Amino acid sequence: MYETILILHSYWAYLVLLILILASGNALFKSISGKEYSAKDFRISLFTLIVSHIQLLIGLVLYFISPRFDLWSELGGSVMGNALARLYLVEHPLVNIIAVTLITIGYSKHKKKLTSASKLKVLAVFYCIALVLILSRIPWSTWMA
C-alpha cells in the first residue's frame, strides 16, 4: 500500500506543478498586461485549488503510513539534526501545508474582489508564493530519479 500511495503522490505532483505554474503564470501575465478576468481564469484557479488539496490529502496519508514516520520514535528530537529526516518529516510537509493554505486563501480572497485587476493580482501573489514554497521543498534528488 505504501508503494502505491508513494507513486500516486509522486505522479500527482507533476499535475499539481503543471497546473500551479499555469495558474500563476496566467494570473501574473493577465495582471501585468491589464487583461480582463474571465470564466477561464476562474476554472483554472478552481482546478488548481482542487488538485492541490487532493495532493495534500494523498501526502498526509503517505506521511502517516511511511516507514520514515517511525523515525520520530527512533530519533525523537534528533530528527532535526538529521537533514534527510528533517526534510521528509518536518520541512516538506509543513511548507507544503502552508503552500496549499496560501492557494486556498488566494482563491477565497479573489472571489470577493469586484474588479478584474484586483482578482488577478490576488491570484498572482498567493499562487506565485505557493509555487515558490512548493518548489523549495521538493526532494529533487529522489523525485527525479
Higher pLDDT, 140 or 51: 51
CA 66 and chain centroid, separation = 20
Burial class, 51, CB count within 10 angstroms (exposed 0-12 / middle 13-18 / buried 19+) = buried
**What is the torsional sign of CA 42, 48, 51, 53?**
negative
Res 73: pLDDT:
64
Q: Let me know: does 27 contact 124? Beta carbons within 8 Å.
A: yes
- Written as nine digits, the cell of 38 is 474571465
Q: What is the DSSP letter of 82?
A: S
pLDDT digits (tens, 9 = 90+) for 80-122: 877 777 888 888 999 999 999 999 999 999 999 989 889 999 9
Mean pLDDT of the chain: 90
Check pLDDT > 70 for residue 144: no
Res 136: pLDDT:
93
With residue 127 as reference, give the H or E element that holds it. Answer: helix 116-136
Report the predicted TM-score, pTM, of the whole model to 2 decimal places: 0.90
Q: CA 99, CA 66: separation in Å to the nearest integer?
A: 22
What pLDDT band is residue 142 in, cutting at 50, 70 and 90? confident
The share of the chain scoring above pLDDT 90, in percent, equals: 67
**What is the torsional sign of CA 28, 100, 8, 76?**
positive
Res 29: pLDDT:
95
- For the chain, which residues make up each domain, given as ranges? 2-143
Q: CA 87, CA 136: separation in Å to the nearest integer?
A: 11
Q: CA 124, CA 130: separation in Å to the nearest integer?
A: 10
Q: CA 86, CA 115: separation in Å to the nearest integer?
A: 43
